[in-house]
Amino acid sequence: MGRIIRTALRRSVSRVRHVSPVRPSAARGSVASVYAEVEADFGLLAPPVALHSPAPVALAACWALLRETLVASGLATRAVKEAVAASVSRSNTCPYCVTVHGATLRELTEGRGLTDGTFAPVEAWADRSGPRPFPSEQVPELLGVAVAFHYLNRMVNVFLDDSPLPPNAPAVAERFLGRFMGASARKEYPPGTSLRRLPAAPLPPDLVWAAGNPVVGDMFGRVAAAFDAGSRVLSGEARDVVLAHVAGWDGTPPGLGRGWAHETVAGLSPADRPGALLALLVATASYQVDEGAVAGFGDAELVELTSWASFTAARRMADLTLRATEV
C-alpha cells in the first residue's frame, strides 16, 4: 500500500491547476536536486512543493521553508509541529493540508496514550486563540511551521484540489496515507541541508523572531530574499499597494465579494491592476482565485507572483500571531 500511496501522490502532480510542473522524469539541475531531497526527506514528491517547479528559485525556497521548519530535527517534536501545521491549515480552510498533516499527526500519536486534547494548547496558539504554551526557545521552529503553512495553504488553495488522494479513493486510503507519512516523519533529519541552493541574505526585521535558531534564521533570510524577487512581476507602485494593504490587514477573510480588491487597485494603471489584484486575492482570499484572475500570466511569473504574495501574507500572520499569543 505504501508504494501505491507514493505512486498516487506522485501522479497527483499532474492535477496541478494553472501551471504545468516539471515532470519527475524530465527534471534536471536544481529542480531534480530538490525533487530528490523532497522524496528522501518528506517521503514523497509533495505536489505543494512540485507546483513551484516552473520557477526553480521559488521551488528551492518553498522546500527550504518546509524542510527547515517541519521536517528538520530540532527542539520541538515532529508531532507538535504536525499539530501546528494541521491547526493553521484548518484556520485557512485548506482541506488538502488538513488531510495530510492530520493523518500524519494521528499516526505519530496513535497508541501512545495521548488524547484528543493533548495538542489543544498548541493548536489554539497556532490559530491565535490561546497563549504560547511552549518555551521561547521553540518559537523559531514552531512559528516557522506556522509561517510555512500560512504560505503553503495559499499556494495549495490556488493550484491544487481539495484532497491529495485520487478521486473515488476508498475511505481507508487516508489511514494508509497517515501510515506512509508517519514512517518518514519518525526519522531524524539534520538541519540545514536545503540551504545550499539559495544565497545567504540578511534576516528582515519582521522575521527577527527566527534568529534564536541559527539554521532557521539563516533559512528565513535566504527564503525571504528568494520570494521577494518574485515581486518583480509587479511595478513598484503595484507592489507598494499590495504591501500597504497586507500591512493593515487583520488576518481575517474578506468574504466572498471582490469589491474591496478592485477598490484597492483602482488607482493603478490598467496594466498594473491584474497583477496587483491577483496578489491581493492570493494573500488574503486565496479561495477566490480562479481562471480569470490568473489569465495572462506565464507559468514562471505566475508562480513567482503568487509565492511572493503568499509569503507576504505569511509574514503578516507571524506578526499577528506574536501580538495575539505572547504572554
Residue by residue, DSSP assigns 265-299 as HTTS-TTTHHHHHHHHHHHH-GGG--HHHHTT--H
Q: What is the pLDDT of residues 33-57, one digit of tens each?
A: 999 999 999 988 999 999 999 999 9
- From CA 325, how far away is CA 58, in angstroms rounded? 30
Looking at the predicted structure, is the pLDDT value of residue 172 above 90? no
**pTM score:** 0.94
Confidence of residue 116 (pLDDT cuts 50, 70, 90): low
- From CA 139, how far away is CA 117, in angstroms rounded? 21
Residues 6+ positions from 193 with CB-CB distance below 8 Å: 37, 41, 67
In the chain, the amino acid numbered 254 is P
Q: What percent of the chain has pLDDT over 90?
A: 82
| Coarse DSSP helix, strand, coil percentages of the chain, rounded to the nearest 5 percent | 70, 0, 30
- From CA 182, how far away is CA 144, in angstroms rounded? 21
Residue of 31, 97, 103, 246 with catalytic role: 97
- From CA 123, how far away is CA 81, in angstroms rounded? 10
In degrees, rounded to 5, the angle at the alpha carbon of residue 238 between the alpha carbons of residues 234 and 244 is 125
- From CA 135, how far away is CA 132, in angstroms rounded? 8
> Average pLDDT for residues 315-324, to the nearest whole number?
97
Confidence of residue 176 (pLDDT cuts 50, 70, 90): confident
Residue 145 contacts residue 70 (beta carbons within 8 Å): yes
- From CA 257, how far away is CA 23, in angstroms rounded? 36
> Average pLDDT for residues 280-291, to the nearest whole number?
96
Confidence of residue 12 (pLDDT cuts 50, 70, 90): low
Whether 62 is catalytic is: no
**Within a 10 A sphere around the Cβ of 187, how many other Cβ atoms?**
12
Confidence of residue 118 (pLDDT cuts 50, 70, 90): confident
Q: What is the pLDDT of residues 193-212, one digit of tens each?
A: 999 999 999 999 999 999 99
Residue 276 contacts residue 267 (beta carbons within 8 Å): no
